[in-house]
Amino acid sequence: MYLNQLLLSQNNSLDLFRVVAALLVIYGHAPVFVADSNATDLVVILLGFDYSAALAVKFFFMLSGLLVTQSLLLRGFL
């Protein structure tokens, strides 16, 4: 599937990515709410440079950029 097909509103393909990113934000901030939690973020272990919530926020920005660009392309501004 090409990106322009993925961004079509009738495909509604980006909702799954949004849900995963939202769950990563919750997962990344969960140790803050648990008393005496020494939990290590799985994303930190795998990547070694970023934690899950920060990665999810970057992913949200990427999705927003794709959707804004698609909107501008459809309206003929670009």
Statement: residue 5 has pLDDT above 80: no
pLDDT at residue 7 in the model: 65
What's the whole-number average pLDDT of the chain?
81
Statement: residue 9 has pLDDT above 80: no
Residue type, 60: F
Count of domains forming the chain? 1
pLDDT at residue 10 in the model: 67
> How far separated are the first and last CA of the chain, in Å rounded?
23
For residue 11, give its domain range.
Answer: 3-75
Task: For residue range 23-57, list pLDDT tens digits in order.
Answer: 989 988 888 777 666 777 888 888 888 888 889 99
Phi-psi region of 76 (alpha: psi -120 to 50; beta: other; left: phi over 0): left
Evaluate whether 50 touches 44 at the Cβ level (below 8 Å).
Answer: yes
For tokens 């709410």, what's the residue? 33
